[in-house]
Amino acid sequence: MTHPTITTSNNAGLNPQLNVWNNPAPNEVGESSVEFLHLLSGPTHIKITGKDRSRSRAVVTLLHGNEPSGLHGVYEILRLGLKPAVDIHIYIGSVDAAKQAPGFIYRMLPHHKDLNRCFKSPFGETEQDHLAKEIIESLKTIHPECVIDIHNTSGSSPSFGVTTFMDSTHDALVSLFTHRMIVTDLSLGALMEISETMMPTVTIECGGVQDPESNLMVTEGLGRYLTYDDVLSVGHTDMSLEFFHNPIRLELKEGSEIAYGDHCLLEDGVTLLPEIEHFNFGFVTPDSRLGFVYGDIEQNLTAKDMEGRELIGEYFELREGELYPKKILKLFMVTTNPEIARKDCLFYLTVPDEE
């Protein structure tokens, strides 16, 4: 079903995929965020006219089809019919993946690239690369004063912001939503890495899909982002941010496998305890059993720093096949979804002393 006021964009390159929807009225967006999703015929650019037409802000969300909180927040905000302080541009990315039955299950469609790994130049030739390029070209044309990209964490987690750049404008943007801030130089092809070169950009990870507070925090944060006259100075909050610097990704080695369970499930692979997601933003100590590794740790797991130094043996060890940290570590983005663990990483870690 296509809404009659949605038109196909013609503002970028080959085979434009973004549909444009101008000023959706509260009674045009459906009775739920699921209905709202089904009104979109594909990736969509929603434009909302603000009070100050000389400025604009951008929101990007649903780059991952299984992360619905941002879409939910956008829906709630549209239902309110708010008049934003400045023009607002909302980009909704992986609509097709999100719609795939039973809904909000697919991060991307099978055999498609991860859209949030396509934001790097030179852009590739797949549909996802083209969409990434189209979103970036549109941002270049509009030149908003800032961009936020809203995601859900893949496991249960408190909310946090991610930035590649540290200054007060990024602090201000994140503290509209949450008080935890991860500062990273990781280069993955995420939207933030490329749009940061044009305007302040932060990623908001609003917690897991299963966490009831995720939808609430994003709706409240978006309300502030749309209506505050100034979102780029820290004056709007007295909340102090908790920082986490340059996290290290724990990844599965090529050829190894991952499972979740309370005993060793895989010969030649890694089994993590399902309770591991309770350590999100908490500390693990050398007494915290994390799981099991069959075979050598170095053949199954890798943890590299920014310079590509292998640190697996410095941070983790096996004791009779059981996996333990060697020192106190802080974990976050812990997933118990084997697919995410395989394609992305098992979790991120920082060493508290080094923060």
Chain residues binding Zn ion by CB under 5 A are 64, 67, 151
Amino acid identity of residue 75, one-letter, is Y
Contact 348, 333 (CB under 8 A): yes
Q: How far apart (Å, rounded) are the C-alpha atoms in residues 152 and 222?
A: 15
Give the residue with the Cβ less far from Zn ion, 89 or 151: 151
Give the residue with the Cβ less far from Zn ion, 271 or 280: 280
Number of alpha helices (DSSP H) and beta strands (DSSP E) in the chain: 10, 20
Tokens 């020192």 label which residue?
A: 327
Give the residue with the Cβ less far from Zn ion, 70 or 325: 70
Min CB(110)–Zn ion separation in Å: 17
Give the residue with the Cβ less far from Zn ion, 61 or 169: 61
Residue nearest to Zn ion (CB): 151
Q: Which residues are within 8 A (CB) of 113 and not within 5 positions of it... i.e. 6 or more apart? A: 124, 126, 128, 129
Map residue 202 onto helix, strand or coil.
Answer: strand
Total count of residues recorded for the chain:
355
Give the residue with the Cβ less far from Zn ion, 173 or 293: 173
Min CB(113)–Zn ion separation in Å: 14
Min CB(151)–Zn ion separation in Å: 3
Contact 67, 106 (CB under 8 A): no
Measured CA to CA in angstroms, residue 86 lies from 49, 144, 199, 278 at distances of: 7, 10, 16, 40
What are the DSSP E strand ranges found in 174-273?
180-183, 201-208, 242-245, 248-252, 258-260, 269-272
Min CB(100)–Zn ion separation in Å: 16
Give the residue with the Cβ less far from Zn ion, 146 or 191: 191
Give the residue with the Cβ less far from Zn ion, 24 or 93: 93
Min CB(165)–Zn ion separation in Å: 20
Min CB(54)–Zn ion separation in Å: 32
Min CB(343)–Zn ion separation in Å: 12
Q: What are the start-end ranges of the H helices in the chain?
A: 33-39, 69-80, 95-99, 127-142, 168-174, 191-195, 213-227, 297-300, 312-315, 338-343
Give the residue with the Cβ less far from Zn ion, 117 or 133: 117
Min CB(350)–Zn ion separation in Å: 20
Q: How far apart (Å, rounded) are the C-alpha atoms in residues 7 and 45?
A: 10
Cα dihedral 251, 257, 262, 263, rounded to 10, equals: -130
